[in-house]
């Protein structure tokens, strides 16, 4: 399988929250799993849990029965002590994905195959969190025997695949775990190689030559179009829950973007239809009315910002910039492909019509991500997705002052904080929809994000390959993939 998403730091699910996620969905089990569907209809069914959680009336205590027939890849047993060890370890390591477990106050062992999760507050999205690799059990024995560094490179779980080899910058090799408890999910291939490519065109050529069998992500629009014409290739496409957006820093000293009228002038200057057609050949649809994902209670709060250069100029003049102003746009073509540079140029051209002079700042991926997350940019191109199947995973992330994206754009808004906290503890769907509608209205008024396009993922594979199937939020069950001799 080919990808241009490199695994750069760790394979440890307690520490990774990047390009190893899909690998870890196949190497590790979770207590629950999301079936292919769209929230709120999506079903979160037991995986390592032996049934549904028993939730206390106040929503704070979740008692979960565990499967009894599960072993780790090293042969040691999975049980309540191992589950507690794994969840506690995430919080102790306190790496980037640890925030996902913020609602958990402590984990208790009730008996050998039952745990109790005690929450700090009644969090409606806890079950969705328990579908993520960060909540997966890891072998306590392997952690203790291998040490942190070695475990990061070949972590031990209970999933249908196990790690064999990681050659940084080149590939990760998986092998079937013959002792897997769910015999219907024993992988159908003897070896699974996750091959990393530096660019889309090289990956596409490798697929055409038969050097790889599947392209998971991501081909550029031009490579997608030519691959669609190749009769030797099959494909599936799905809306994987990723959005491309323009992040506007509201609090950078001496920046004109501190004035909301300038930020709104930028929004009125952007033509998303042109972006979709010029940059992505119409393959990625324009995102005109919301940045919330399908099914995540979206509201068309951004629909008012249709292209209007006269309105943009008026807002600039009111803000004290009758002759326009200068801003800098950061992006990283290495992380997000050549089209990222094309997108930056189109935005530069569009904003110039209103008198906004955009200076482009292209950066290497590592530097961009570090400085982007620190909120050092003025404007930046970013990609946003839901983390788990609950609307809180978007709302808190982009609106609460403690959310990762919110800190980047330096928004600290009392109303947004109140609403996002209310939304995550509420259980009534109608009440939550109203709350998240208010969140979107407020975000659109503050104008710290301009939604651009929704990313459609095209997965191409050779004609002798079957079982290529995406799950919710783009995670793929690789145990289904089979290959016949061509």
Domain architecture of the chain: domains with CATH: 21-148 (3.90.76.10), 161-239+457-483 (3.40.190.10), 240-455 (3.10.105.10)
- pLDDT at position 357 is 98
- pLDDT at position 335 is 52
pLDDT at 126 > cutoff 60: yes
Query: Count of CB atoms within 10 A of residue 91's CB?
Result: 16
Tell me what the mean pLDDT of segment 233-247 comes to: 85
Identify which has the larger pLDDT, 271 or 426.
Answer: 271
- pLDDT at position 472 is 59
Identify which has the larger pLDDT, 44 or 142.
Answer: 142
- Banded pLDDT at 125 (limits 50, 70, 90): confident
Tell me what the mean pLDDT of segment 27-54 comes to: 83
Closest CA to 21 of 253, 30, 313, 334: 30
Share of the chain above pLDDT 70, in %: 95
Q: Tell me the CB-side half-sphere exposure of residue 468, using CA atoms within 13 A.
A: 24
Give Cα 460 to chain centroid, integer Å. 21
Q: Tell me the CB-side half-sphere exposure of residue 280, using CA atoms within 13 A.
A: 26
Query: Count of CB atoms within 10 A of residue 113's CB?
Result: 17
Query: Count of CB atoms within 10 A of residue 427's CB?
Result: 10
Tell me what the mean pLDDT of segment 31-52 comes to: 79
Identify which has the larger pLDDT, 403 or 307.
Answer: 307
348 within 8 A of 379, measured Cβ to Cβ: no
- Positive/negative CA dihedral, 410, 440, 451, 385: positive
| Polymer length of the chain | 486
Instruction: Tell me which H or E stretch contains 321.
Output: none
Identify which has the larger pLDDT, 140 or 20.
Answer: 140
Q: How far is residue 304's CA from residue 440's CA, in Å, rounded to a whole number? A: 13
What are the beta bridge partners of residue 132? none
Average of per-residue pLDDT values in the chain = 92
Tell me what the mean pLDDT of segment 415-438 comes to: 90
The pLDDT tens digits for 321-347 are 999 999 999 998 765 567 899 999 999
Residue ranges of alpha helices (H) inside 257-384 are 260-269, 272-280, 309-318, 333-336, 338-352, 365-373
The pLDDT tens digits for 137-146 are 999 999 999 9
Query: Count of CB atoms within 10 A of residue 237's CB?
Result: 14
pLDDT at 470 > cutoff 80: no
Strands 214-217 and 32-34, sheet pairing? unpaired
């Amino acid at each position: 399988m080919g990808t241009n998403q490199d695994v750069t730091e760790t394979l440890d699910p307690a520490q990774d929250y990047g390009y190893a996620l899909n690998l870890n969905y196949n190497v590790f089990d979770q207590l629950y799993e999301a079936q292919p569907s769209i929230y709120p209809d999506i079903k979160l069914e037991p995986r390592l849990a032996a049934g549904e959680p028993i939730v206390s009336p106040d929503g704070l205590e979740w008692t979960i029965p565990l499967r009894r027939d599960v072993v780790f890849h090293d042969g040691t047993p999975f049980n309540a002590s191992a589950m507690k060890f794994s969840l506690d370890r995430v919080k102790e390591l306190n790496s980037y994905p640890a925030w996902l477990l913020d609602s958990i106050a402590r984990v208790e062992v009730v008996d050998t195959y039952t745990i109790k999760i005690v929450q700090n507050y009644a969090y409606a999205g806890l079950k969705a969190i328990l579908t993520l690799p960060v909540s997966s059990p890891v072998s306590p024995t392997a952690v203790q025997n291998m040490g942190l560094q070695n475990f990061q490179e070949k972590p031990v779980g209970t999933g249908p695949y196990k790690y064999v080899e990681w050659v940084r910058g080149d590939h990760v090799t998986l092998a079937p775990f013959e002792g897997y408890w769910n015999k219907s999910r024993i992988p159908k291939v003897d070896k699974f190689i996750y091959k990393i490519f530096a660019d889309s065109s090289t990956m596409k050529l490798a697929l055409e030559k038969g050097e790889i069998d599947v392209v998971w992500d991501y081909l550029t629009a031009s490579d997608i179009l030519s691959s669609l014409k190749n009769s030797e290739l099959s494909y599936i496409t799905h809306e994987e829950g990723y959005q491309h957006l323009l992040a506007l820093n509201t609090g950078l000293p001496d920046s004109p973007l501190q004035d909301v009228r300038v930020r709104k002038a930028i929004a009125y200057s952007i033509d998303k239809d042109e972006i979709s057609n010029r940059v992505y050949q119409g393959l990625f649809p324009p995102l005109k009315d919301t940045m919330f994902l399908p099914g995540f209670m979206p509201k068309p709060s951004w629909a008012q910002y249709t292209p209007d250069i006269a309105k943009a100029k008026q807002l600039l003049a009111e803000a004290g910039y009758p002759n326009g102003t200068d801003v800098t746009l950061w992006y990283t073509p290495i992380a997000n492909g050549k089209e990222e540079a094309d997108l930056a140029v189109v935005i530069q051209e569009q904003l110039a019509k209103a008198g906004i002079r955009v200076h482009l700042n292209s950066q290497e991926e590592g530097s961009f991500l570090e400085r982007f997350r620190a909120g050092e940019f003025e404007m930046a191109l970013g990609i946003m997705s839901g983390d788990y199947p609950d609307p809180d995973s978007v709302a808190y992330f982009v609106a609460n002052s403690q959310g990762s994206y919110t800190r980047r754009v330096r928004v600290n808004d009392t109303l947004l904080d109140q609403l996002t906290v209310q939304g995550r503890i509420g259980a009534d769907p109608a009440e939550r929809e109203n709350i998240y509608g208010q969140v979107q209205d407020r975000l659109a008024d503050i104008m710290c994000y301009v939604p651009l396009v929704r990313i459609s993922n095209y997965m191409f594979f050779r004609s002798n390959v079957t079982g290529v199937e995406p799950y919710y939020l783009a995670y793929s069950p690789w145990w289904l993939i089979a290959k016949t001799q061509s």
